[in-house]
Structure 1
């Protein structure tokens, strides 16, 4: 694949990823939050208690539950995969000239973040399928830990990669 084709593919994936993110952040997630009276569990990046999760699940209407389980879940199955592709591609490009272990560490973190996100989605879906009183503390704790892990594993590589991109763009000639 030519350099121009790679660049076009990269920015196409970025645009599609941003499209998924926009639909979730401006469409499904605000509707779910309005229905339940509080943010979706996926967005509580510092986690949530059993009481908070049960309150959310109890407040969610059948319509809100269906939206979360169907449209939102589909969007949030594709989005983490696209985000991981963009992250890994950006990491490989930005870390040229940096120790290989840095590249590997950032890629492994991004992939683990994606896996945590997908697993979190499955755990939340399992809770949504149950009456709120039937959801166990262990189920909630597992989902909450995955939410926190997803946040950590997807955010910190970005904090490292952005300065590397700046370094590569502004201080290197092999861009």
Structure 2
């Protein structure tokens, strides 16, 4: 039977693999198929209605198929795998119930916002390009980006703190 620690590291490896596939294959190809315009997911500060319409107009049929096919499948797994990868260090490094709950809450909110962003972007790609749909998708991209940044900073600070404590003991 696989230990929890082994299962965790398997999730980390899977998250890194999915991320690599998106960064090295699907997202650059989508950008190339949209005249070098970045995919919605890669716009951490959001996008205007004009920018969204320009991207959707420039996106080729092949690019749209890649975005709604393989990229969507990869992005189905990535948020959960990333969330698990970030929650692990919090569970190992934070003893306090309150801080542990707050930090895990931030990570879960980031994960949920990523899934909601994916849902809203899929609507744009399916043809729902009304102003309110673009606005909602853009705001969710911004929220996801901000929460992901907070989650990464939390794990980085916790890991650095733990490393410094261990280093001082030696």
Q: Do these two structures clear the TM 0.5 threshold for a shared fold by scoring above it?
A: yes
1:11 aligned partner:
9
3-state SS of the aligned residue for 2:33? Answer: helix
Q: RMSD of aligned C-alpha atoms?
A: 1.7
For 2:162 and 2:129, how far apart are their aligned partners in 1?
A: 49
Q: Which runs of 5+ in 2 are unaligned?
A: none
Say whether the 8 Å CA contact 1:120–1:146 is kept in structure 2: yes
2:76 aligned partner:
77
For 2:154 and 2:70, how far apart are their aligned partners in 1?
A: 33
For 2:80 and 2:62, how far apart are their aligned partners in 1?
A: 27
3-state SS of the aligned residue for 1:21? Answer: helix
2:21 aligned partner:
23
For 2:116 and 2:151, how far apart are their aligned partners in 1?
A: 20
Q: Which runs of 5+ in 1 are unaligned?
A: none
TM-superposed deviation, 1:172: 4.5
2:100 aligned partner:
103
4+ aligned runs moved over 6 Å, structure 1 = none
Say whether the 8 Å CA contact 2:106–2:151 is kept in structure 1: yes
| Correspondence list, 1:16-165, <5 A | 16-37=14-35, 38-96=37-95, 99-130=96-127, 135-165=129-159
Alignment: residue pair count: 166
CA deviations over 1:100-147 (Å, ceiling 9, x no partner): 3221111111111111111111111111111xxx61110001000100
